[in-house]
Structure 1
Amino acid sequence: MPIPEDVTGEEIDASVRQELMSLPKTLAEDVAKNLVMVAKLIDDDPEQAYAYSRIALRLASRVAAVREAAGFAAYATQKYAEALAEFRAARRMTGGVDLWPVMADCERGLGRPERAMAMAGEPEVQKLDKAGQVEMRLVAAGARRDMGQLDAAIVTLQSPELASNSVQPWTARLRYAYADALLSAGREDEAREWFAKTVEADKDGATDASDRLAELDGVEFVDALVDDDEDDDLDSSSSGDDVIGDADEDADDYEDGERDARD
């Protein structure tokens, strides 16, 4: 697959570049460029990102960063079995636990929420950093909801991180999940409160909390472009009527003139 000329491979993280140093120089550069394309496209065009990840995987399957990138690309395209296999391979290579929450979420994607819940209780969770533990809590709550245990999902999300007024990278997603669970449980007033708190924390608009909040407040959004188009159609229709009316008047005048000429 073609790679834009402005992609050099130098854009990758230093730790990944360090891993690629085990490869021959030219090969390392090719792998790095493909990994850059994965990172660039994974949010907006996950299928293309997946394609680039497969090239990187074919070139350097024994590099943990490549297996991890391939896992995330597969995960983004909902190829959960493939993603889980890649994450497991990366974990075997590094011995780390960072991928534990996303591995558990793959189990959910495969329709195995019970396995995700079991993973939430494993010792690996205690080795995660704060962000990883919050992520694991989100996955566990999702697994509870998958199993129809809505009240348990709500309790799972209740934590010091949720109660904290400090805004962290995970705050908006945690508050949003809690608000959504409350709303699903019919606790609308509480859900509204937490959607509002989500909006406060979500400065980048990563969630649709503002829209959800507006819906709860009964605000309806009108597409201005559609309205403009409708107005244009009405104007065009009116203009057409005027033309037809003028044509009718001209025809009447012509007939009157013909009668006068005969007379």
Structure 2
Amino acid sequence: MPIPEDVTGDEIDKDVRQELMSLPKTLAEDVARNLVMVARLIDEDPEEAYAYSRIALRLASRVAAVREAAGFAAYATQKYSEALAEFRAARRMTGSVELWPVMADCERGLGRPEKALAMAGEPEVQKLDKAGQVEMRLVAAGARRDMGQIDAAIVTLQSSELASHSVQPWTARLRYAYADALLEVGREDEAREWFGKALEADKDGSTDASDRLAELDGVEFVDVLDEEADTADPSGTAHAAEADDETGSAPEGRDEQDRPAAN
């Protein structure tokens, strides 16, 4: 696959660069450039990122950083079985527990919330840093919701990190997950309060808390482009319906707020 000329491979993290030093120089450069493309595309075009990760994996499958990148690219495209296999391989190579929360979330993606919940109680969780422990809490709460245990999910999210007034990288997502769970059980006033708190902490737009608040306040959003298209082509709705019949409906997406973000 083509790689822009401005991508040199020097953009990668120094720890990853250190790992690649075990490879011949030219090979290391090729792998590094593909890893840069994975990092660039994983949010905006996960399928393309996945394709670049497979190239890196083919070139250097014995490098832990490559296995981890391949895992996150597979995770981003909802290939959870493949992602889990890559994360397990990376963990075997490094001995690190850092990937434990996202491995548990892969179990959720595979329809095994009980397994994810069991992982939340394993000793590995105590070895995680604070960010990792919060991610594990989000995954555990998501697993509870998968199992229909919404009240238990709410209790799982109640923690010192949730109550803290300091804003950390995980704060917005934690508050959002709590608000969403409260809303599910009909505690609308509390949900509105916590969506507001999530919005206050969401400096990089990692949640749609503002939209959720607007919905609670009865604000409806209108897509002007869609309206213009309907005006230009009165049969547009029928065409869209026909297309849906041909392609089938996309499966319902999983909640973005209660799972770890790919790093």
Name the TM-score, length of structure 2 as normaliser. Answer: 0.86
The structural deviation recorded for 1:213 is 0.3
Instruction: Say whether 1:137 aligns with 2:137.
Output: yes
1:256 match: none
The structural deviation recorded for 1:205 is 1.4
The structural deviation recorded for 1:164 is 0.5
2:29 match: 29
Aligned positions of 1:199-210 closer than 5 A: 199-210=199-210
> Take 1:75 and 1:82, find their aligned partners in 2: how far apart are those partners?
8
Q: 1:53 corresponds to which letter in structure 2?
A: S
> Take 1:15 and 1:90, find their aligned partners in 2: how far apart are those partners?
14
Aligned positions of 1:7-22 closer than 5 A: 7-22=7-22
Aligned positions of 1:1-263 closer than 5 A: 1-224=1-224
> Take 2:162 and 2:183, find their aligned partners in 1: how far apart are those partners?
17
> Take 1:107 and 1:223, find their aligned partners in 2: how far apart are those partners?
36
The structural deviation recorded for 1:232 is 10
The structural deviation recorded for 1:220 is 2.1
Q: 2:181 corresponds to which letter in structure 1?
A: A
Q: 1:112 corresponds to which letter in structure 2?
A: R
> Take 1:146 and 1:227, find their aligned partners in 2: how far apart are those partners?
36
Identity over the aligned pairs, expressed in percent? 88
Between 22-31 and 217-226, the greater mean CA deviation after superposition: 217-226
Other structure's SS at 1:55 match: helix
Q: Deviations over 1:9-51 (max 9, x none)?
A: 0000000000000000000000000000000000011011001
Q: Deviations over 1:153-202 (max 9, x none)?
A: 00000000000010000000000000000001111111000001011001
> Take 2:2 and 2:82, find their aligned partners in 1: how far apart are those partners?
24
Could you tell me which runs of 5 or more consecutive residues in structure 2 were left unpaired when the two chains were aligned: 234-263
Structure 2 vs 1, CA of residues 85 and 186 (structure 1 numbering), >3 Å: closer, same or farther?
same
Query: Which one has a bigger Cα radius of gyration?
Result: 1
Name the TM-score, length of structure 1 as normaliser. Answer: 0.86
Q: Deviations over 1:98-154 (max 9, x none)?
A: 000000000000000000000000000000000000000000000000000000000
> Take 2:220 and 2:45, find their aligned partners in 1: how far apart are those partners?
30
Please give the root-mean-square deviation of Cα atoms over the aligned residues, in Å.
1.6
Between 204-213 and 98-107, the greater mean CA deviation after superposition: 204-213
Other structure's SS at 1:34 match: helix
> Take 1:196 and 1:118, find their aligned partners in 2: how far apart are those partners?
32
> Take 1:133 and 1:223, find their aligned partners in 2: how far apart are those partners?
39
1:243 match: none
Q: 2:56 corresponds to which letter in structure 1?
A: A
Other structure's SS at 2:10 match: coil
> Take 2:36 and 2:230, find their aligned partners in 1: how far apart are those partners?
45
> Take 2:61 and 2:221, find their aligned partners in 1: how far apart are those partners?
49
Q: Which has the higher helix share?
A: 1
Structure 2 vs 1, CA of residues 18 and 183 (structure 1 numbering), >3 Å: closer, same or farther?
same
